[in-house]
Amino acid sequence: MNKINLEGRKAVVTGGARGIGYAICQRLTESGARCIIWDRDEEAASEAVSKLPGAVAIAVDVTREESVNEAKQATAAKVGGIDILVNNAGIAGCSKKLWECSPDEWQEVLQIDLFGVYLCCRALVPGMLANGYGRIVNIASIAGKEGNPNASHYSAAKAGVIGLTKSLAKECAEDGVIVNCITPAVIETDILKQISQEHVDYMRSKIPMGRFGLVEEAAALTAWLCSEDCSFTTGGVFDLSGGRATY
Ligand code: NDP
């Protein structure tokens, strides 16, 4: 059986210290890639790379331009050029109605979940274009397609990630750089600690398969999108929602 082959590829995974990002790092490493974890949680990132052969951890806050640029330079010094970028770092933010969110609460989610994706793409896409090869996978959410109540900040940010993916894909379409996103429904990770049980129950109740998604399922889809096998699909939005999304 042919396996996903990422031999010799170098992959930056933001928020790769835990949860979905860590599972993606595990899968990419198993497929032959070298992972560079960009995460703000240095301790968790160091622990994660200790379990991933060849992996490197670099501290970054994806919302700060200087921090992203420093991470880019540190990455270049340690491993050279980057072939793959997985924009996974994100937060859920508070579970509140739009008018109950303070401007700071609303902005924080937009800054991390959308602006951070822009900054990391801005930092790494030019190198990919110069090499004539790149794979970018943005971790959006079903919330960005459907809009979840009590998550207007998160839904708006993830809808923004879907739009950014489609625009960037067209900008790079003739240059070997392929850009897609995935839209998972709820997956049990630490991120769920940020939101109310009522909100988690609501999201689970919307899934026809009647269960949470698994981090391994997100990693499997992402690994294919990171590979050379994904060659004629760009600007795509890949469902991972146990049947919740029917479009
Ligand atoms: P986790 O909270 O388990 O992991 C997210 C990681 O990103 C953490 O290590 C976190 O660090 C890091 N991070 C957060 N903000 C920043 C920042 N500013 N700079 C650098 N790193 C940062 O979340 P998940 O694994 O569940 O989520 C991963 C992605 O998947 C997110 O984009 C999320 O929106 C998306 N997603 C998740 C779903 C789910 O149900 N779990 C469903 C759909 C999409 P720290 O711990 O310090 O915050």
Q: What is the pLDDT of residues 106-128, one digit of tens each?
A: 999 999 999 999 999 999 999 99
Q: Which of 91, 165, 182, 194 has the most ligand 1 atoms within 8 A of CB, as the residue to mutate?
A: 91
- Residue 93: the pLDDT is 97
Backbone angles phi, psi at 183, to 5 degrees: -125, 80
Cα 183–Cα 92–Cα 150 angle in degrees, nearest 5: 95
Q: Give the model's confidence band at 246: pLDDT under 50 very low, under 70 low, under 90 confident, else very high.
A: confident
Q: What is the mean pLDDT of residues 141-167?
A: 98
Backbone angles phi, psi at 13, to 5 degrees: -120, 110
Kindly list the protein residues whose Cβ atom lies closer than 6 A to any atom of ligand 1: 14-15, 17-21, 39-41, 44, 60-63, 88-91, 112, 116, 139, 141, 184, 186-187, 189-191
Residue holding tokens 């979905």?
A: 20
Centre of ligand 1 from the C-alpha of residue 15, in Å: 6
- Residue 247: the pLDDT is 82
CA distances in angstroms from 160 to 72, 125, 199, listed in the order given: 24, 18, 22
Mean pLDDT, the chain, integer: 97
- Residue 1: the pLDDT is 60
Q: Give the span between the Cα atoms of 190 and 77, in whole angstroms.
A: 32
Q: Give the span between the Cα atoms of 161 and 247, in whole angstroms.
A: 17
**Which sequence spans correspond to the domains of the chain?**
10-238
Asked if pLDDT for residue 141 goes beyond 80, the answer is: yes
Atom of ligand 1 nearest to the CA of 191: 2
Q: Whose alpha carbon is nearest atom 2 of ligand 1?
A: 191
By annotation, the residues acting in catalysis are 154
Helix ranges restricted to H, 54-115:
65-79, 103-110
Quick: pLDDT tens for 35-91.
Answer: 999 999 999 999 999 999 999 999 999 999 999 999 999 999 999 999 999 999 999
| CATH, domain range 10-238 | 3.40.50.720
Atom of ligand 1 nearest to the CA of 186: 40
Q: Give the span between the Cα atoms of 139 and 87, in whole angstroms.
A: 6
Strands 237-240 and 134-139 turn out to be unpaired
Q: Tokens representing 105?
A: 């609460």
- Residue 113: the pLDDT is 98
- In eight-state DSSP terms, residue 101 is S
Type and span of the H or E element at 215: helix 215-225
Asked if pLDDT for residue 14 goes beyond 80, the answer is: yes
Asked if pLDDT for residue 2 goes beyond 80, the answer is: no
